[in-house]
Amino acid sequence: MDVRWAHVCDAPVVAQLLHDFNVEFDSHSPGVAVLTARLEELLPAGRTSALVAGDPAVGVALLTSRPNIWYDGPVLLLDELYVVPELRDRGIGTAIIERLVADATAEGVSLIEINVDEEDVDTRRFYERHGFATGTGPWERAFYYERELHPQIGA
């Protein structure tokens, strides 16, 4: 499976895959048009990137990068990893993860973070199989907390 870094021209395809992901799992999506516009702005800025698998694309990984005081290199957050349902269990997700880890290592990335819901056992098993862990010791479990903010535009 060919896995490559997305360019700005890939924004509509990446947006469609991300939208499909949210729809599949009953999560809110602002829609393909909004996601496309955001990707067209964010991808060239360099802190947001995406890997796409296949031609046409059938899988996507969305990543954000940030500096971190605890590491020499940047920290990547794997925001989303999605493979179209009918092509799952064929190694596409593995190909994406392998490309991500190889390129991140070559670029000096210090840490890759992933948030997974506790009840999503299959996804947790997938990441564990690829060397990701929930903490630095067998007793440590990490939790993800969030607080969504809705700033007042124009106020």
- Both tokens of 83, joined, read 């493979």
How is residue 9 annotated by DSSP? G
Predicted model pTM: 0.89
Single-letter residue type at 82: Y
What are 13-34's pLDDT values in tens digits? 999 999 999 999 999 999 999 9
Q: What SS3 class is residue 104?
A: helix
CB proximity list for 86: less than 8 A, separation 6 or greater: none
What are 35-55's pLDDT values in tens digits? 999 999 999 999 999 999 999
How is residue 63 annotated by DSSP? E
The position carrying tokens 């179209």 is 84
What are 95-134's pLDDT values in tens digits? 999 999 999 999 999 999 999 888 889 999 999 999 998 8
Homologous superfamily of the 3-129 domain (CATH): Gcn5-related N-acetyltransferase (GNAT) (3.40.630.30)
